[in-house]
Amino acid sequence: MVEEHKRKERLDRGIKARTDRLYAVTSWREIGYLLAPRAGLVLVLLVAPLVVPSLYWQRVLGLAAVYALLAISFDFLAERVGLVCIGGAFMIGVGGYISGSLNFYFGMPAALTIPLGTIGGAVICTLLWLPCLPLRGIYFAVVTFMFPFFATSIILAGGLFRGTEGLSPVSGFPNIWVGVYLILAFVLIAIFALRRLCGEDIGLVFAGIKDNDQAVLASAVNITRVKVYALFISTVIGCFAGAFVSHFSGFVGLSLFAVDFTIMPIAATIMGGPGTLAGPALGAFILAPLSEALRGFGQLRVVLYCFVLVAFILFKPEGLLNWASRKYHQFEHWVKV
Amino acid sequence: MGEEKRPLISVRNIRKSFGGIIAVNDLSLDLMEGEVLGLIGPNGAGKTTIVNTITGFTKPEAGEIFFREKKLTKLPPYKIAELGVTRTFQIVRPYPSLQAYKSLIVPLWSPRARRFAGSRGGDRDAVAIDLLEEVGFERDAYVPYKLASALPLGYLKRLELARCLALRPEVIICDEVFSGLSMSEIASMVPLVERLRMKGVTLLMIEHRLRELFSVADRVVVIDFGVKIAEGEPEQVMQDETVRRAYLGEELEL
């Protein structure tokens, strides 16, 4: 007697099969279907500060949002433009030192120092990395990775900004709510604005540079200029996070150039789903609180943390969000073979 | 004398070597306005190096290249393309993650294409679909929307040409657009080349498919070991003893 076999069949949902990447939406139901995950993200982020148990966890949330911004900035450059920039700590440092020192030395309010730190920091980062832009892949990554160490040495050697002591106090936000909601709003804006940008014509040029920069050159496009645009956008996000940190922690010091700000966003990107922009943010909102929760384990939490990363790279290299969106657009059922 | 056509691109005594190997040695050639010039030679003769040198992707060690009165030799590739001197790549360079028509947004976004676009500048998607149709893509709801990574080679070669056309080129340098295609695909490419010539585009074609090349080319330049060994009309060049020895081999008797 022949054994009965069953096989799991996965099918794309109608809207996905019909409109792959085109989004010809025909009904409220489909609009809702596309809108639900996006609205969910907004809702969760906006409600999160209200439901976390204590002030301590609100601060963790704020810090997680900082990592999320860095992860978004890294993901945008690496996966959408093809520039692997691992200088997250440098963006945080430059943005933080600018806004923090403006506040400390000149007493300017946060409403002024954060925009100045954001734009000024982005200009400085972009100008410093400009000569490295013809480099590709790992070479650009290595150069950008060097900059935080470089900055730390200069500050130490020159005794600038009070050296190791740092600048304290930097005035904080009126209350924790302003701080947390400011950074969460910026995370949401960054995600949606960058996703929109990547669908625009210039976003296609970014994708072209990632896929085949020689072909873009042959298309009469100055790729260095386009890379500068992308780098500036990315550093604006990173330096905003830095400027925010200086006021959020009320302190500016060498810890702003800590390597955590470089490594954690990369880990979050791998975990959350490279190339999705929202995924890396999701990864950061999981990893940063997880790392806090495991604080009790002391050094052991680094092991657990590495374990999570290796597991993701080995078993789910596409990351959480890519996996989730694939599942969302499919339905499965068992069929007889 | 006054009636004579001036060369559109004039390559003068260029030399380029890689390590110890001289790829192109003291080579000069003229590309006249409106003509189809074939450039042939055995493998490794330096054909692609000439293309790369004209379009700025490699810099020559000596010699100069002019487009009309403008010197191209020191310009970066994107500036040369902006002047209207465009090229295809022998090994196709698509954007795998973009849909076929979206990959034309890149050249259409360039300053040169935007200058030409005028009032229709806002609708680049429509222009891209038109361009794809012009190079022989089906105008349906399927092929132009496929990812470039899912397209067969024949379409990718056409996509290379479409990228050039998006820039409203004056010159297209085709680096082996026929190679790797089936006979029927080549047969459909030849009329496309004819159409380009009718539109007034000047073509420099590097080819190994001599029969198809000779059916469209006005003039042929033969190079071997980086040196020009013959130049003239196709039939005349093929009679040349040196050419037959270098290119077609001794044993081939016509």
Residue type, A225: R
pLDDT at B77 (0 to 100): 95
- Cα–Cα distance, A216 to B95 (Å, whole number): 9
**B55 to A219: CB separation less than 8 angstroms, yes or no:** no
Measured in degrees and rounded to the nearest 5, phi and psi for residue B215 equal: -75, -15
pLDDT at B240 (0 to 100): 82
CA dihedral A195, A196, A197, A200 (to 10 degrees): 130
Residue type, A243: A
Looking at CA atoms only, how far is residue B163 from chain A in angstroms? 7
Q: Number of Cβ pairs closer than 8 Å across A and B?
A: 83
B87 touches chain A (CB under 8 A): yes
- Which residues, numbered 263 to 292 in chain A, qualify as contacts with chain B under a Cβ-Cβ cut-off of 8 Å? none
A200 touches chain B (CB under 8 A): no
pLDDT one-digit tens code per residue, B27-86: 999 999 989 999 988 888 889 999 999 999 999 999 999 999 899 998 999 999 999 999
**B87 to A208: CB separation less than 8 angstroms, yes or no:** no
Q: What is the ipTM, given to two decimal places?
A: 0.89
pLDDT at B3 (0 to 100): 45
Mean pLDDT by 10 residues, chain A (337 residues): 74 68 68 87 92 90 95 95 92 95 92 95 95 87 92 90 85 89 95 93 94 93 95 96 94 89 90 92 92 80 76 89 88 81
- Cα–Cα distance, A267 to A198 (Å, whole number): 23
CB distance A60 to A287 below 8 Å: no
Report residues of chain B scoring pLDDT below 50: 1-3, 252-254
B103 touches chain A (CB under 8 A): yes
What number of residues does chain A have?
Answer: 337
pLDDT at A3 (0 to 100): 64
The encoded tokens of residue A150 equal 């470089």
Which chain A residues have a beta carbon less than 8 Å from that of B174?
none
CB distance B241 to B230 below 8 Å: no
The 3-state DSSP class for residue B22 equals strand
A311 touches chain B (CB under 8 A): no
Q: CA separation (Å) from B67 to A100, A199, B3, B12, B70?
A: 55, 36, 19, 11, 5
Contact partners, residue A91, CB within 8 Å, separation at least 6: A70, A73, A121, A125, A235, A238, A239, A241, A242, A261
- Classify residue A283 by burial, with Cβ atoms within 10 Å: 0-12, 13-18, 19+: buried
Looking at CA atoms only, how far is residue A231 from chain B in angstroms? 19
**B107 to A212: CB separation less than 8 angstroms, yes or no:** no
pLDDT one-digit tens code per residue, A267-313: 899 999 999 999 999 999 998 998 888 888 877 777 777 787 788 88
- To test the contact with chain A by mutation, choose from B75, B106, B160 the residue with the greatest count of A C-beta atoms within 10 A, namely B106
pLDDT at A35 (0 to 100): 87
For A89-217, list the strands marked E by DSSP: none
CB distance B95 to B181 below 8 Å: no
pLDDT one-digit tens code per residue, A68-114: 999 999 999 999 999 999 989 999 999 999 999 999 999 899 999 99
How much is the CA Rg of chain A, to the nearest whole Å?
22
- Which residues, numbered 25 to 84 in chain B, qualify as contacts with chain A under a Cβ-Cβ cut-off of 8 Å? 55, 57, 76-78, 81-82
- Cα–Cα distance, A102 to A112 (Å, whole number): 9
**B145 to A205: CB separation less than 8 angstroms, yes or no:** no
A204 touches chain B (CB under 8 A): yes
